[in-house]
């Protein structure tokens, strides 16, 4: 596993068996590992990720486009992100793209300043010395035989950082491309577009991507961020939100149909995180849909995750508005959901299957499930949801449907919605909990008594909010790790789990904590990332029991534990969180395991100061480390580090 340093932390005090013998017997916790009579199978896609377009996660984040407002379509602000000099005009007559009609007319009349424009990027543009960048734009000359256009990287000190010239020589809209090479590394470069002779041109869709994107796709994803997601080994991928699928108004809900087809003609949408939190006001936050549903499905396929798209149920975000579509008009929302399934899975001869095929993917994406609504509450939701269920079950009985239990982990709305979800027979119920450390530590038994016969649980958004500032502290990650033993122990009822939110740009975030932070060049994995990764890469296939004094461990003496068997690797994987300030002597008794156990085992220790937080400058404050340990006579006697999360990987023969 590449994230794990194969060194031993100086602070690691793991002891092999004999050393603990000196401990007073009463202080040693005995943990028995038992194979249950009937093993619970763990869903192969249990651990995943939730991509939400918040904190510049799509435009300015995972989507590798470097030009902000490339199509001059930002609502009511067609020049936002641009500095324009010389005679210019925003126009819409005879546009290049009918659904993105704005373009800019530049007239070079020989003024001393020249005529052109500069794009500021998403809080700058990150460029790397000697790397290349692919510029694409559309232009036409206007009563001008030809116009030389120069594209120039401007470094943050104002100096030139690489330039290229292109001749525009057609009075019809034409696509032009060029390659720019950066002469310097700069996190906050800008792009200048300059006309080089007298005359007039119209320009639209000015785009620049790094040549190196994930899988080198032209409309691609930022390499380091996509790789960080792939390294999580997620098996399910929920997208594209969150509240954005609802919209603050129905008109501005995420409209997946606008997010497919040629990228230049995908119409802009506002992003509700633009203005929702006034203390984190982000007026330049829009959705170009450049990272759209095709790209999401393709990425799921790339990383081997099941796609879980979520669509509006016809209710706008209930925190912000009471707007809902009239019940008799709900059909077009239901149709959107049906069409989405057709887009993903339909034959190339179907309307939406053809759209997918025309985008280069004739094979089906093998969609298995769909979420209807996000954090809804009240009586309208079950009533509206039922219409979707009836239509989807009739046409696509194999598709699983995810309902919602509202925005809270418990309380009136939650208590109303769960029985409703059972009545409607949804397959999974999405639960959300953004709660404090105490909640996470005291809820490790949350699912022990859940009804096994009803819908399954999708822990769709959760994160431990540590303190007023909600940083991604090691403590928050430790509390999540402890809580997640309870998800794992209850894998027969908890079928899917995804931390939230996923991404945040350090200069443009609205919400924290978040799993991965980045600027325009670098990214950092939070302690919470590593907990998610440790679970997803040690998921196992079947739940076993870890018992002490006849009870599973969900906080007894500060210890939380779960254990799984992995039928593919023939391993037993024990996860133990110690939330106490003192280390804990334990004797892990493996004698009831029929198979013989290899003497060599692996211990992964995740420990840091509770307040530590990985940052771009200091990314390795909280990183798991791995070492080999010895087991003798089916007993692992050890000390669990104080305030640590541990994984023991035992090999059966
Ligand atoms: O993750 C941030 C927001 O939290 C999501 O959009 C919403 O579903 C929840 O309220």
Extract the tokens encoding 480: 């999540």
Predicted local confidence at residue 12, as pLDDT? 33
**Cα-to-centroid distance, 534 and ligand 1 (Å):** 24
Mutate to test the pocket of ligand 1, among 49, 55, 241 (most ligand atoms within 8 A of CB): 241
For the cut 90, the answer to whether the pLDDT of residue 149 exceeds it is yes
Specify burial of residue 194 (Cβ count, 10 A radius: 0-12, 13-18, 19+).
buried
Strand partners, 487: none
Here the tokens at position 51 are 């991509």
What's the gap in Å between 461 CA and the centre of ligand 1? 7
Q: How far is the CA of 365 from the centre of ligand 1 (A)?
A: 27
Residue whose pair of structure tokens reads 């869709």 in the numeric block: 205
DSSP string, 159-224: -EEEEEEEEE--SS-EEEEEEEE-SS-EEEEEEEEEE-SSEEEEEEEEEEEES--GGG-TT-B-HH
Alpha-carbon span 293 to 335, nearest angstrom: 16
Side-chain half-sphere CA neighbours of 521 within 13 A: 15
| Cβ pair 565, 538 in contact under 8 A | no
Gap between the Cα atoms of 618 and 497, Å rounded: 29
Distance, CA of 586 to CA of 642 (rounded, Å): 12
Which residue among 277, 320, 374, 512 has the greatest number of ligand 1 atoms within 8 angstroms of its CB, and so is best to mutate? 374
Confidence of residue 15 (pLDDT cuts 50, 70, 90): very low
Q: What distance in Å separates the CA atoms of residue 370 and residue 377, rounded to the nearest whole number?
A: 19
Binding-site residues, ligand 1, Cβ < 6 A: 52, 54, 241-243, 374-375, 407, 432, 461, 500-501, 511
Is-contact 558 584, C-beta < 8 A?
A: yes
pLDDT in tens, 274-327: 999 999 999 999 999 999 999 999 999 999 999 999 999 999 999 999 999 999
- By the 10 Å C-beta count (0-12 exposed, 13-18 middle, 19+ buried), 487 is classed as buried
How much is the average pLDDT of 201-224?
Answer: 98
> Helix, strand, or coil here: 509?
coil
First to last CA, the chain: 22
Residue 244 Cα, ligand 1 centroid: separation in angstroms?
Answer: 9
CA-closest candidate to residue 562, choices 33, 48, 44: 33
User: Closest ligand 1 atom, CA of 375?
Assistant: 8
pLDDT reading at 5 higher than 80: no
Residue 606 · residue 533 · CB < 8 Å: no
SS3 content of the chain, % helix, strand, coil (to 5): 20, 35, 45
Q: In a mutational test of the pocket of ligand 1, which residue from 315, 404, 461, 514 has the highest number of ligand atoms less than 8 Å from its CB?
A: 461
| Ligand 1 centre distance from Cα of residue 192 (Å) | 37
The first and second tokens of residue 606, run together, are: 């995740």
State which ligand 1 atom lies nearest to the alpha carbon of 244: 6
In whole angstroms, what separates CA 348 from the centre of its chain? 29
Distance CA 565, CA 651 (A): 10
| Ligand 1 closest atom vs CA 407 | 10
Q: How many angstroms separate the alpha carbon of residue 406 from the centre of ligand 1?
A: 11
Residue 382 CA to residue 426 CA, distance in Å, equals 10
Counting ligand 1 atoms within 8 A of each CB, the residue from 277, 373, 375 with the most, and so the one to mutate, is 375
Q: Average pLDDT, stretch 6-22?
A: 35
Other CB atoms within a 10 A radius of the CB of residue 255 amount to 18
List, for residues 617-630, the tens digit of each pLDDT value. 999 999 999 999 99
Q: Residue 463 above 60 pLDDT? A: yes
Query: Residue whose CA is closest, atom 5 of ligand 1?
Result: 242
CB neighbour list of residue 197: distance below 8 Å, 6 or more residues apart:
108, 146, 147, 148
- State in Å: Cα 550 to ligand 1 middle: 39
Render pLDDT for 528-547 as a digit per residue (tens, 0 to 9): 999 999 999 999 999 999 99
Mutate to test the pocket of ligand 1, among 50, 52, 287 (most ligand atoms within 8 A of CB): 52
Counting residues of the chain whose pLDDT is more than 70, the rounded percentage is: 96
- Residue 27 is predicted with a pLDDT of 87
Could you tell me the pTM of the whole model?
0.95
Which atom from ligand 1 is nearest to the alpha carbon of 50? Answer: 1
Instruction: Tell me: pLDDT of 20 over 50.
Output: no
Nearest CA to ligand 1 atom 4: 242
> Which is the closest atom of ligand 1 to the Cα of 461?
1
User: What does DSSP say about strands 644-652 and 571-578: parallel, antiparallel, or unpaired?
Assistant: antiparallel
Give pLDDT, residue 227.
Answer: 98
pLDDT, mean over the chain: 95
Predicted confidence (pLDDT) per residue in 431-451, tens digit: 999 999 999 999 999 999 999
**Closest CA to ligand 1's atom 7:** 242
Q: Please, are residues 376 and 247 in contact by the beta-carbon 8 Å criterion?
A: no
User: How far is the centre of ligand 1, averaged over its atoms, from the C-alpha of 52 (Å)?
Assistant: 8
Q: Are 587 and 23 in contact (CB under 8 A)?
A: no
Q: For every residue of 213-257, which 3-state class applies, written as one string?
A: CHHHCCCCECHHHHHHHHHCCCCEEEECCCHHHHCCCHHHCCCHH
10 Å CB burial of residue 139 (0-12, 13-18, 19+) is buried
CA 500 – ligand 1 centroid, Å: 8
* The pLDDT of residue 3 is above 60: no
Residues recognised as catalytic? 375
Nearest CA to ligand 1 atom 8: 242
Give the Cβ contact number of residue 382 at 10 Å: 20
pLDDT category of residue 26 using cuts at 50, 70 and 90: low
Ligand 1, atom nearest to 511 Cα: 2
């Amino acid at each position: 596993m590449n994230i794990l340093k194969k060194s031993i932390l100086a602070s690691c005090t793991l002891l092999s068996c004999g050393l603990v013998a000196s401990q007073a017997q009463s202080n040693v916790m005995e943990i028995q590992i038992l194979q249950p009579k009937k093993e619970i199978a763990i869903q192969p896609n249990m651990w995943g990720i939730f991509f939400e377009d918040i904190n510049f996660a799509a435009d300015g984040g995972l989507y590798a486009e470097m030009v902000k407002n490339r199509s001059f379509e930002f609502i009511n602000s067609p020049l936002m992100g641009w500095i324009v000099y010389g005679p210019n005009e925003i126009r819409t007559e005879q546009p290049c793209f009918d659904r993105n009609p704005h373009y800019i007319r530049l007239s070079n009349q020989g003024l001393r300043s020249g005529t052109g424009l500069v794009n500021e990027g998403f809080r700058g543009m990150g460029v790397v010395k000697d790397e290349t960048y692919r510029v694409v734009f559309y232009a036409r000359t206007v009563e001008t035989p030809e116009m030389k256009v120069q594209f120039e990287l401007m470094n943050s000190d104002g100096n030139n950082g690489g330039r290229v010239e292109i001749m525009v020589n057609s009075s019809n809209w034409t696509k032009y491309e060029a390659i720019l090479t950066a002469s310097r590394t700069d996190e906050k470069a800008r792009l200048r577009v300059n006309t080089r002779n007298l005359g007039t041109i119209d320009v639209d869709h000015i785009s620049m991507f790094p040549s190196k994107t994930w899988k080198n796709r032209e409309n691609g994803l930022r390499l380091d961020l996509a790789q960080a997601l792939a390294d999580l080994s997620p098996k399910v991928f929920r997208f594209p939100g969150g509240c954005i699928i609802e919209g603050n108004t129905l008109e501005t809900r995420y409209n997946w149909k606008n997010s497919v087809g040629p990228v230049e003609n995908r119409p802009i949408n506002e992003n509700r995180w633009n203005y929702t939190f006034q203390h984190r006001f982000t007026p330049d936050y829009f959705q170009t849909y450049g990272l759209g549903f095709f790209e999401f499905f393709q990425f799921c396929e790339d990383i081997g995750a099941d796609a879980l798209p979520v669509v509006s149920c016809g209710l706008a975000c209930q925190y912000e508005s009471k707007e809902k579509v009239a019940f008799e008009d709900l059909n077009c929302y239901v149709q959107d959901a049906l069409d989405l399934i057709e887009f993903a899975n339909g034959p190339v001869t179907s309307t939406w299957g053809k759209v997918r095929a025309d985008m280069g993917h004739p094979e089906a994406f093998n969609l298995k499930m769909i979420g209807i609504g996000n954090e809804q509450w009240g009586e309208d939701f079950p009533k509206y949801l039922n219409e979707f269920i009836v239509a989807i079950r009739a046409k696509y009985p194999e598709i699983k449907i995810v309902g919602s239990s509202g925005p809270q982990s418990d309380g009136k709305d939650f208590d109303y919605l769960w029985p409703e979800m059972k009545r409607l027979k949804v397959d999974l119920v999405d639960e959300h909990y953004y709660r404090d450390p105490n909640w996470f530590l005291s809820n490790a038994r949350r699912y022990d008594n859940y009804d096994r016969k009803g819908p399954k649980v999708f822990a769709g958004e959760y994160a431990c909010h540590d303190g007023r500032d909600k940083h991604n502290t090691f403590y928050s990650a430790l509390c999540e790790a402890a809580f997640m033993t309870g998800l794992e122990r209850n894998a027969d009822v908890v079928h899917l789990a995804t931390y939230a939110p996923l991404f945040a740009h350090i200069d443009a975030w609205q919400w924290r904590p978040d799993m991965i932070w980045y600027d325009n060049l670098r990214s950092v994995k939070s302690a919470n990332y590593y907990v998610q990764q440790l679970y997803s890469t040690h998921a196992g296939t079947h739940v076993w029991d870890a018992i002490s004094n006849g009870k599973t461990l969900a906080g007894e003496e500060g210890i939380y534990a779960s254990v799984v068997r992995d039928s593919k690797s023939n391993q037993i994987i024990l996860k133990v969180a110690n939330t106490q300030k003192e280390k804990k002597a334990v004797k892990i008794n493996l004698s009831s395991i029929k198979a013989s156990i290899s003497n060599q085992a692996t211990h992964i220790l995740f420990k840091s100061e509770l307040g530590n937080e990985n940052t771009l400058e200091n990314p390795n404050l909280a990183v798991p480390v791995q070492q080999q340990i010895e087991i003798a006579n089916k007993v692992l006697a050890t000390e669990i580090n104080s305030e640590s999360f541990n994984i023991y990987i035992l090999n059966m023969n």
